[in-house]
Amino acid sequence: MYGAAAAFGGMALASCSGAPFGSLRSTVHFWNLFGGGDGARLSDMESNFVDSNPNLELESTTLTWGAPYYTKLSMSTVGGRPPEVAVLHQTRLGAYAPAGLLEPLDPDMLSDYDIGPDKYLPAVLESAKYQGEIFTVPLDTHPQVMFYNTDICKKAGLLEKNGDLKPIRGADGVIDAFKKAKEVTGEQGVAFAPLDGAVPWRLFYTLYGQLGGEVLSPDAKEVVLDQEKAEQAVDFLVELTVGEELTAPTQDYAAAVAQFQSGNAGFHWNGEWEVTTFADAGMPFSIVPFPSIFGNNTVQADRHTFVIPRGVAKDSRKMDAALTFISSMMKNSLIWAEGGHIPAYLPILESQKYKDLTPQSNYAGVADDVILDPNAWFSGSGSDMETQAAVPLQQAMAGAVDPKQAVDDMRASMQELVDTPSPL
């Protein structure tokens, strides 16, 4: 008898599709992929939101960066119970907007929450659109930069009298500087991570971009990889790892960061987001934009944006909560900028407080020179194209294949992706 009662009680509970411990306040479910230093800053921004919005509850979930996060986000939206707000890399818009997974954001509605189209640089706003409609609210631009250890560079004679880094330009100039740094450290001249799933692509795309190369046609139906320019880009990377042995070809992301942090490398190529790691470690460092190796300052970057998954707009209360949250986070994005990112929100970007942030402001101007990954359903941060390109690049940097072979392999895997029937 008790068993039957328990069974019925259980079944009743099971019919609740949501958490049985729900409250009467509106809850903002927020998904992100920020760990480490970014995660800590996010928490600060979230606290500010919670404090200034007592009528809203916040549930923030962090999932593993890359495919695990994006897979869950799409499945959740398809399943009909998505989070109210999620983070999306701008370069993934091509996989989400045409798939109908995002709510379009009306410009007037955004303006009501102080996050309207006038609050961003035109180029930034353009990238937030798909077929003329706004789908994302850009939070930041995060480019690749060059970190340098001020002590090591001083000993290597690479600093000006006022302590700034002497301009490093051109392939030879860069190699020269790294060599000098290696002489001082005795280990590596520069530390970056050939063994990572994303880093090889970011560096390749930067160098290739500096040569003016395009990867895909604008409609993403053709691979237009320029063999000569691509090989030149790969050549340079190989020169650093195998040729001049200025960096270890088999270190992963964590190891590269650790090497720079512990002073075993004079330079570090990475996204600016690691500024917190090095600042917290108390090591002597600064940041300059990624060097112009092939004649200009083009550099790979992506943008973190806020999106509202499809289905949220059906409930106006949820929509209001979502926009309130996004607005609050944007207004708090100075905290985010302290983590190294270049804020997209003009009131913050143009504020004196941001301009006073060093070394973040050293590279704020880079925002004009950034190139984002090509727009396609299979490309972008954490995408197949990025991870597949990493393999031949890794092999080339390890000296296992020659640059021509690596470029051929990259072209082949890109071609395969282009040929795959689009699931959208």
The residues of the shown chain that bind other proteins, judged by CB under 8 A, are: 3, 6-7, 10-11, 13-21, 29, 32, 34-37, 39-40, 42-43, 59-64, 67-68, 70-76, 78-83, 99-101, 195, 252, 378, 384, 391, 420-421, 423-424
Nearest to 293 by CA among 189, 190, 207: 207
**Least CB distance to other proteins at residue 371 (A):** 25
Q: How far apart are CA 66 and CA 302, in angstroms?
A: 13
**Least CB distance to other proteins at residue 408 (A):** 15
Helix (H, G, I), strand (E, B) or coil at 370: strand
Q: How far apart are CA 260 and CA 153, in angstroms?
A: 13
Shorter beta-carbon distance to other proteins: residue 209 or 340:
340
Q: Are 28 and 58 in contact (CB under 8 A)?
A: yes
Helix (H, G, I), strand (E, B) or coil at 306: strand
Shorter beta-carbon distance to other proteins: residue 44 or 402:
44
The number of residues making up the chain comes to 424
Q: How far apart are CA 334 and CA 340, in angstroms?
A: 10
Return the H-helix or E-strand segment holding 210: helix 199-210
**Least CB distance to other proteins at residue 120 (A):** 26
CA 52 to chain centre: 28
Q: How far apart are CA 144 and CA 202, in angstroms?
A: 8
Nearest to 105 by CA among 115, 95, 96: 115
Shorter beta-carbon distance to other proteins: residue 135 or 236:
135
Q: How far apart are CA 60 and CA 46, in angstroms?
A: 8
**Least CB distance to other proteins at residue 225 (A):** 20
Amino acid identity for residue 222 in this structure: E
Shorter beta-carbon distance to other proteins: residue 90 or 383:
383
Any residues with CB less than 8 A from the CB of 107 and at least 6 apart, and which?
Answer: 116, 117, 134
**Least CB distance to other proteins at residue 69 (A):** 9
Shorter beta-carbon distance to other proteins: residue 153 or 390:
390
Return the H-helix or E-strand segment holding 144: strand 137-149
**Least CB distance to other proteins at residue 382 (A):** 10
Shorter beta-carbon distance to other proteins: residue 17 or 162:
17
**Least CB distance to other proteins at residue 37 (A):** 8
Shorter beta-carbon distance to other proteins: residue 111 or 422:
422
**Least CB distance to other proteins at residue 340 (A):** 15
Shorter beta-carbon distance to other proteins: residue 71 or 217:
71
